[in-house]
Amino acid sequence: MTDGRVAYGLNYSVDPPAVVSGEGTPQDTSARLVRDPDSPAPDRLRSLRAFHLRAEDGSPVARVVTEQPLGSRLSGRPAVYHVLDPYGAPLGRITLRRRRAFRWGRRRWTVEPVGGPVLQGYQGRLWSWLLWWPFGLPVQLLCLIWVLMAEGDDGPRPPRRITWRDGSHRAHLVFRAVAEDYRLLRHELDPRLVNALIGLHQSYDWPERAGSDGWYEW
């Protein structure tokens, strides 16, 4: 394992969008995100996903398929995705669990590699949520009213930073919401699984430059 940190991001200026790595420009393309032409129609909760990761030359790198779509907030059933290699062998599983209705909690992303530690990441840090509810949420509601009345820009967003940690609480990957990038701190996770996680996460939580529907709904 090396100690160097690697920065990843999603380049929306190319078609199909590309997961890129490296600091500054130019950046190296890790994978292109290509939605399956026969992917399932979006479900009511918009949680069905089916896409390929391809190298710059078009060769397959990995594939993401939905094992289980999200349930309602009352049921608390998570969305489960399989990440497969080009031959169909499993690389790992990624799970998204939302906060259940009428309960305290944060959105949680879990990564279960075939080999290696299980990683869990919670959206937003506790102190940022403590500030968000009394201060950020009222401001966002005011901005929403302004958007509806005057077609202004979007207002502040809830806390979005995520740090994926193993059972020993060691950080492996960090999504920095302000920079809109992902910092790989440890190199125990298969890069294909990292790219798949970025593609999935960005299909739920995308920056403004990705448009109103994100890369997956383009």
* pLDDT at 28 exceeding the cut of 60: yes
Instruction: Return the higher-pLDDT residue of 185 and 38.
Output: 185
Pairing of strands 28-35, 18-21: antiparallel
Provide mean pLDDT across the span 174-197: 94
Q: Residue 155: which pLDDT band, with cuts at 50, 70 and 90? A: low
The confidence score (pLDDT) of residue 120 equals 97
Confidence tier at 104 by pLDDT (50, 70, 90): low
pTM: 0.85
Instruction: Give 211's pLDDT tier (boundaries 50, 70, 90).
Output: confident
The Cα–Cα gap between 179 and 23 comes to: 12
Tokens matching residue 177 = 């919401």
